[in-house]
Chains A and B, each alone.
Chain A
Amino acid sequence: MERALVIQQLVKSYDKKTVLKGLDLEIPSGNIFGLIGPNGAGKSTLIGILTGLLDYDEGYIEINALEYKASNELAIKKDVASVLQPPLLFENFTSYEFVTYVCEMYGVDGNGLNDKINSLFNYFEIDEFTHVKAKQLSSGSRKKLAFCAAILTEPKLLFLDEPFESVDVISIGRMKSVLRKLKEKGTTIFITSHILEVVENLCDDIAILHKGKILAYLDSKTRRDLEKDSNLGEIFEQYVEVKSANEELLNWL
């Protein structure tokens, strides 16, 4: 089985605080993978490292069969795109200028690019903002624009950090539909989200990250077995060992 991502013993610290403590993870190619974890688990740090924005202290990373090191950096980046939270846009550019710039940087073939942009903008109903500067867009439209730009680069591996946050229900449905189509084409999708229902419905494999380590990797078979008796939320609580809240503390309410 081909693997889109291999991480072994990944360690990352900020000053004296270790955020990732020897993290191991393997994701098969062409999979929609969901990473869930409580606040401060290290999800954003992991995304930051995998998208080349943060250095790591120790460990081994392999993306699309290429070891993550300086000499492979550009080759890896060529096939990777991401939508971070909050989305990164070029604020002084219009939506159209932004996506064409990103495509230029990724060396995307210009033939038919305008048609692709128009169809995507239409699909996500942001076509009215084609010539509106990014800084004037609402948070939902910003997320959709960043998503469109990432799709247009035709990545083999797509990182999505909280992709459905501040996006309306209809657009979430459309984004999911696009992600399924990308999966059919062989793209690997790595999603982090707090919305467990979305991860539950959309993802094939799911991992639970807690205190800098992967507590559980639930592939589709394991999930089917576990989800007979409980939903993802309950499974998550079992693994993370959520302390039951002391309701007496709020007696004054």
Chain B
Amino acid sequence: MIEKLLYLNWKLFLAKLTKFQTILLIGYALFLLIMLVNLMGSALIVIFLDSTSSLQLDLAWLTPEIHKLILLTFATVFWILHFSFTSTRLLNMEENRKLLALGYPAGKLSRHLNLMCLYHPVNVIYNLTWLVFLSLQINSMWNIPIVVAAVLLNYGIIYSIKHRFLHMVEKRFKIIVFSFVFVIFGVISALAIISRQTQAILGEVAIQMSQLIDVLLLLPGGLLYQAATYSHTPILTGTLFFFLVVLTYMVFRDHYYKTKEGLMTPSSIRVRKEVSRLWIFLRRWLGYNAGKYYYYVMTHSYNRLQLFAIALIPLIYIPLLLAVDFGVISLILIATMIAAIPVALLGMGMANMFGYEHRELLLHLQFPVSFERQLKERFLGIITVPLFIFYGITIFELLRLPQLGSAFSIYIANTFFFMCFMIVFLWSSFYQYQKASYSSFSFKHPIIPQKVTFTMSTAIFILGYTVFVPLGEWHSYRLWVMTGLVIAITFYIMKNFDLLARAFKKRILLKLWSDF
């Protein structure tokens, strides 16, 4: 039966592949291969660091204690990587659920799906690297069963934490966001202090190395390290193994039941009453059409995380970049980062303009209000909010970064940045249309296709360097070119405003109609 399940998932996977995605897949496979080699290589280098004579001669400072510190740091960092990048749920649950109707027993399907997750390439790579890393350090044969059980338990716990964490993020969004802000600010502040007083602080750390090792030993990576290196008596090994096996069994049992529950009740929605103040506010501010559209954008679970990222990254990096003295590079980076904020907001709203409402747009088409007007209102609504931020940042730059240039050049540079992306997003919303969805089971980008996100990120930095890098006496030429292009783009958009409705009817409408 599992062969057929594997075959189905493989077919599902292939059926959705476009040519571009096939190329991406090849790239992904190469990336996994390189990652495996790198991780294994790193693990081996770290382990054999003190046993190679040539290395010992060259690295006289490598005392056993420092070596242990390096091993523990590697284990901790590797665990964080494992936690961050492991793919727990990449299977198409909705499609696999259909097997239930074809007589596939729910319990068996749940068990098989969990097994398939364990065999996902990313999980295999991390678990295998752990096994190699830990196996090479074992003290005795007694450590082997402990290491195997610990690696399995580690995988199971990461799986559980990630699954439950994603659910928690959805439910307790505000608390999580504020906790993150608090923690990240704490870490960044600590790093900033360390970077300014390196010698004094590291000197102190060196003295307290044993204490640091003690702490690292208690972190997840350290605990795995202990599983391989501690000397165990047979009785202790037996007891440890017993508890690890019991724990692993319980965690996997939990996975089994949770997956089964998910298969049986795919989208158990709790009915709850609510009145949205955000909708009332946006309706009053932007009107019915733009207000509704922006309400959809803002209430989308994924966008709330996006907004958090958009706000957080500049909040952390800009003060840091302002504090350090990197001259021109800092200046370009800050200007690019700031200009990217409204662009990111614009991308959120515009890059897949029809994906949020999807079939609902058919109802809008039936209203006795010109559809062109409805789309125009949406379009203006989408640019209104980023424009407010755009003016805010321009004022900030004028006050805090006068070295960027005159008020006119800052304004033109930011406008150019904004307009370029606006036109790209406008095209993207027609050519990259897809239903905006969000699922805690999926790590795929749910709103804008990955290729658009990737292209945008690259383009932001390329354009940032083009627009903000000092050109000396050539600056005025660049200014004129940008001004000309801003005027051209403005005219293009104004002249082709009806394009919004025409392109919708030509490219999107039939897809919406046939998508039941």
Contact = CB atoms under 8 A, between A and B. Distances in A.
B275 A101 contact: no
A94 interface: yes
A166 to B, nearest CB: 14
A174 B421 CA distance: 53
A52 B366 contact: yes
Contact of A77 (B272, B360, B366, B509): B366
Interface residues of A, number: 37
A135 B299 contact: no
Contact of B273 (A77, A80, A131): A131
Interface stretch (B141-149, B223-231, B233-241, B288-296): B288-296
B360 A90 contact: yes
Given A88-B362, A90-B363, A92-B296, A107 B279 contact: no
A88 B359 contact: yes
A91 B369 contact: no
B369 A53 contact: no
A94 B270 CA distance: 14
B326 interface: no
Contacts of B276: 94, 97
A74 B269 contact: no
A97 B279 contact: yes
Contacts of A77: 366-368
B513 interface: yes
B56 to A, nearest CB: 65
Contact of A53 (B292, B360, B366): B366
B369 A93 contact: no
A92 B367 contact: no
B92 interface: no
Nearest to B370: A74
Contacts of A82: 366
A136 B366 contact: no
A84 interface: yes
Nearest to B364: A105
Interface in B341-374: 357, 359-360, 362-363, 365-370
Nearest to A149: B363
Given A82-B366, A97-B279, A53 B273 contact: no
Interface string B258-284: 000000000001111111100100000
B498 to A, nearest CB: 12
Contact of A74 (B271, B360, B363, B369): B369
B369 A105 contact: yes
Interface string A8-29: 0000000000000000000000
Contacts of B299: 92
Contacts of A3: none
- Top 7 nearest A-B pairs (CB, nearest first) are A77-B368, A78-B368, A88-B363, A131-B273, A105-B367, A136-B269, A136-B271
5 contacts: A52-B365, A75-B368, A90-B357, A101-B292, A106-B368
Interface of A: 48, 51-55, 73-75, 77-78, 80-82, 84, 86, 88-94, 97, 101-102, 104-107, 129-133, 135-136
